[in-house]
Amino acid sequence: MSSLAIYIPAYNVGHTLPRVLERIPQVIYPIITEILIVDNASNDNTYITAVGWKNKLKKINIIQHKENKGYGGSQKIAYLHCIEKGYDYVVMLHGDAQYAPEFIPQLQKKIEETKADLVFGSRIKGKPLQGGMPIWRYIGNRILTIMENIILQTDLSEFHSGYRIYRLAALKNIPFERCSNNYYFDSEILVQMRICGLKIEEIEIPTHYAKDSQSPTVIQTFYYGLAILIILLKYLLHKWHIKKYAVFDVLM
Quick: pLDDT tens for 1-22.
899 999 999 999 999 999 999 9
Cα end-to-end span (Å), the chain: 28
Please report, for the chain, the start and end positions of each structural domain, with discontinuous segments joined by +: 4-133+157-214
Query: By C-alpha distance, which of 126, 25, 20 is closest to 37?
Result: 20
Architecture of domain 4-133+157-214: Alpha-Beta Complex (3.90)
Q: pLDDT at residue 134 above 80? A: no
**Averaged pLDDT of the chain:** 92
Tell me, what amino acid is at 121?
A: G
For 64, the 3-state DSSP assignment is strand
Comparing 219 with 109, the larger pLDDT belongs to: 109
- CA–CA separation, 192 and 187 (whole Å): 9
Write down the pLDDT at residue 216: 61
Q: Locate all alpha helices (DSSP H) within the chain, ordered by sequence.
A: 17-22, 46-54, 70-85, 104-114, 135-152, 168-171, 185-195, 218-239
For 51, the 3-state DSSP assignment is helix
- The pLDDT confidence band at residue 244, using thresholds 50, 70 and 90, is very high
pLDDT digits (tens, 9 = 90+) for 19-77: 999 999 999 999 999 999 999 999 999 999 999 999 889 899 999 999 999 999 999 99
For 152-165, what is the mean pLDDT? 94
Contact at 8 Å (CB) between 184 and 245?
Answer: no
Write down the pLDDT at residue 246: 96
Query: By C-alpha distance, which of 59, 7, 69 is closest to 34?
Result: 59
For 78-101, what is the mean pLDDT? 96
Angle at 153 between CA 90 and CA 186, to 5 degrees: 35
Angle at 107 between CA 171 and CA 38, to 5 degrees: 55
Radius of gyration of the chain (CA): 17
